[in-house]
Amino acid sequence: MKERMVYLNGEIVPYEKATVPLLNTSFRYGAMVFEGLRAYWIPQSGTLNIFRLKEHAARLLESIKLMRFEETYTSEQIERAVIDYLAALKPAQDVHIRQMVFLDSEEFYYARGPLQMAAVAVPMGRRRGFEKGINCNISSWRRISDQSIPPRIKCAGNYQNSRLAHIESIESGYDYPLIMNDRGKVSEGAGSAVMLVRHGALVTPPATADILESITRATLLELARDRLGLSVEVREVDRTELLLAEEVFLCGTAEEVVPVVGVDRVRIGAGVPGPITCQLQEELLAAARGNEQHYADWRTQVTF
Ligand code: PMP
């Protein structure tokens, strides 16, 4: 992998050369929209599978629209940027790609363009807690709301809410926060969706629970139904349901599936990663790596 080469407006340049001026509007106000994607390295065939590239491009376009940025990029341009970047970078390992769209402006916060696009890939294997699980707290912070700073937009500024909750969690001796929305229902984690297994069904809060519409969440709902034959409930979730659940886990592009073994020091299930959580970890990685031909349309292959 060519170290520290990044994508900026159609070119692959050294990281040090891709700089943003101090008065840049997006930097000043957190007005930058982005995606986090994963690409899985398949050593046997020398291919890299970008996972759910189309869905990430579609969500980036939704963020651009809701941010009232100028709608100048097409889905094809957004997808092509990631493909061309990885083809040039040639990483022979699993990577995480951050694709960003931000203003090329030093105007006030209501500037809407022109836009620029950047992408940066870093090596990323399984995240901490993937095997043994993590301990979560219920944050004292409330999730930002669709009525003020919509969590549906994947915007840099939204992560101030995650930051406050995550620091509080670590300082209180936990690994990671679960955040309730302003109606007191379960929303999501600081940077991941949350799912639970209750009475054998897979349960997750709806798109209207002040969440980011997670692509991994949609992927797992499909895998749970189609591959594991589970019944799936997308509905409001109470805080106490987390404590009574047989299993709880986080999901997201970076996390994939991370088991939660305790919430507010209450043991979840047997206090170890549950069987459905582990099966979903396997199903997700199989779909992403293409061990079987299932879900080929979820994978965009880059060969080098
Ligand atoms: N919620 C938040 C707040 C996130 O930052 C992320 C990570 N992008 C997720 C959920 C998971 O989304 P996805 O599965 O699309 O990565």
Task: Categorize the per-residue pLDDT at 1 as very low, low, confident or very high, splitting at 50, 70 and 90.
Answer: low
Q: Using a 6 Å CB cutoff, which residues line ligand 1?
A: 36, 188, 191-193, 212, 214-217, 252-253
Q: Burial code of 166-194, b = ≥16 C-beta within 10 A, e = fewer?
A: bebbeeeebbbbbbbbeeebbbbbbbbbb
CA of 210 to the centre of ligand 1 (A): 12
Residue nearest to atom 4 of ligand 1 (CA): 191
Which atom of ligand 1 is least distant from the CA of 218?
Answer: 14
Task: Categorize the per-residue pLDDT at 35 as very low, low, confident or very high, splitting at 50, 70 and 90.
Answer: very high
Which atom of ligand 1 is least distant from the CA of 56?
Answer: 15
Fold of 134-289: D-amino Acid Aminotransferase; Chain A, domain 2 (3.20.10)
Which CATH entry fits the domain spanning 5-123: 3.30.470.10, 3.40.630.10, 2.60.40.10, 1.10.10.10? 3.30.470.10
3-class secondary structure per residue, the chain? CCCCEEEECCEEEEHHHCCCCCCCHHHHHCCEEEEEEEEEEECCCCEEEEECHHHHHHHHHHHHHHCCCCCCCCHHHHHHHHHHHHHHHCCCCCEEEEEEEEECCCCCCCCCCCEEEEEEEEECCCCCCCCCCEEEEEEEEECCCCCCCCCCCCEHHHHHHHHHHHHHHHHCCCCEEEEECCCCCEEEECCCEEEEEECCEEEECCCCCCCCCCHHHHHHHHHHHHCCCCCEEECCCCHHHHHHCCEEEEEECCCEEEEEEEECCEECCCCCCCHHHHHHHHHHHHHHHCCCCCCHHHEEEEEC
- Strand-pair partners of 33: 101, 155
Cα dihedral sign, 223-227-228-234 = positive
Cα dihedral sign, 292-296-299-304 = positive
What pTM value is reported for the model?
Answer: 0.97
Task: Categorize the per-residue pLDDT at 292 as very low, low, confident or very high, splitting at 50, 70 and 90.
Answer: confident
Task: Spell out the domain ranges in the chain.
Answer: 5-123, 134-289
CA of 254 to the centre of ligand 1 (A): 8
Task: Categorize the per-residue pLDDT at 187 as very low, low, confident or very high, splitting at 50, 70 and 90.
Answer: very high
Q: Which of 214, 220, 221 to mutate to test the pocket of ligand 1 (most atoms within 8 A of CB)?
A: 214
Percent of the chain with pLDDT over 90: 97
Instruction: Compute φ and ψ for 85, nearest 5 degrees.
Output: -65, -50
- Residue whose entry in the numeric block shows the structure tokens 């509007």: 25
CA of 281 to the centre of ligand 1 (A): 16
CA of 214 to the centre of ligand 1 (A): 5
CA of 141 to the centre of ligand 1 (A): 18
pLDDT of residue 75 exceeding 70, the answer is yes
Residue nearest to atom 9 of ligand 1 (CA): 192
CB neighbours of residue 298 within 10 Å: 19
Residue nearest to atom 3 of ligand 1 (CA): 191
CA of 17 to the centre of ligand 1 (A): 29
CA distance 13 to 217: 34
CA of 253 to the centre of ligand 1 (A): 7
Q: Which of 55, 212, 253 to mutate to test the pocket of ligand 1 (most atoms within 8 A of CB)?
A: 212
CA distance 253 to 57: 14
- pLDDT tens readout for residues 87-131: 999 999 999 999 999 999 999 999 999 999 999 999 999 999 999
CA distance 162 to 187: 12
Q: Which of 250, 253, 255, 280 to mutate to test the pocket of ligand 1 (most atoms within 8 A of CB)?
A: 253
